[in-house]
Amino acid sequence: MLTIIVRTITVAFQHAADKAAENGNLTALSWLHVSSLFLQAMRIAIPAVIVAISVGTSEVQGLLNAIPEVVTSGLNIAGGMIVVVGYAMVINMMRAGYLMPFFYLGFVTAAFTNFNLVALGVIGAVMAILYIQLSPKYNRVAGAPAQAAGNNDLDNELD
């Protein structure tokens, strides 16, 4: 019920955000998106807080301990499969041969070092910046801008 109410309200927020975007009001647009995100977060947080207040942690821990080991190990295996499927989707979507050396280098770095995800992300960002700066594809010098035709009287007066 709470989900239906919140999603109905956020639809109205998104229509208002469309109008704000048409009018070029970026402050209202940003406020509307953050507000709808906040409502979606509250849709999850409110029931969680109610459960946390009404039921103690020992009862919740007891429920978690009552789950059979077969189920929890199966969920762990499924969680690992989700990661593998995610990697497969990334590889399938990339299909850019010139990026594959970076992809393999990232896997090797992650496998043979104890870097956390933040460190790996920073290394990847630095390598991407270096690649863009050193690649001739992205390092073309822009030519001189073309001169506009002198048909505009105001433009001719300003020259």
132 pLDDT tier (thresholds 50, 70, 90): confident
Note the pLDDT tens digit of each residue in 63-106. 889 999 999 999 999 988 888 888 888 878 777 777 788 888 88
Closest CA to 98 of 125, 126, 136: 136
Note the pLDDT tens digit of each residue in 103-124. 888 889 888 998 988 999 899 8
pLDDT of residue 60: 83
Which residue ranges make up each domain of the chain?
A: 2-65, 67-134
144 pLDDT tier (thresholds 50, 70, 90): low
Task: Write down how long the chain is.
Answer: 159
Note the pLDDT tens digit of each residue in 17-64. 999 999 989 999 999 999 999 999 999 999 989 988 898 888 888 988
In angstroms, the CA 25 to CA 17 distance is 9
Decide if pLDDT at 153 tops 70.
no
pLDDT of residue 38: 95
- Asked if 154 and 125 count as a contact pair (C-beta separation under 8 A), the reply is no
- Asked if 133 and 139 count as a contact pair (C-beta separation under 8 A), the reply is yes
Q: Which residue has the tokens 């979606």?
A: 40
In angstroms, the CA 113 to CA 2 distance is 45
Average pLDDT over every residue of 132-140: 81
Looking at residue 139, the DSSP 8-state letter turns out to be -
Using DSSP, state whether 80 is helix, strand or coil: helix
One-letter amino acid of 107: F
